Structure 1
Amino acid sequence: MYKLVFFVPVSHLEAVKDAVFAAGAGRQGEYEHCCWQTLGYGQFKPGSTAQPYIGESGKLEVVPEYRVEMVCEASALKNVVHALRRAHPYEEPAFDVTETVDGL
Structure 2
Amino acid sequence: MDTETEPGTTGQASRIFFALSDVTRRRLLDRLLDNDGQRQAQLTAGLNVSRQAAVKHLEILEQARLVTVDRVGRAVVYRLNRFPLRTIKSGWIDRFTEHRVRIDCGP
- Which interval holds the TM-score relative to the shorter structure? under 0.3
Higher relative contact order at CA 8 Å, sep ≥6: structure 1 or structure 2? 1
**Which is higher, the Rg of structure 1 or of structure 2?**
2
TM-score (norm 2): 0.23
Answer 1 or 2: which has greater helix percent: 2
TM-score norm. by structure 1 comes to: 0.23
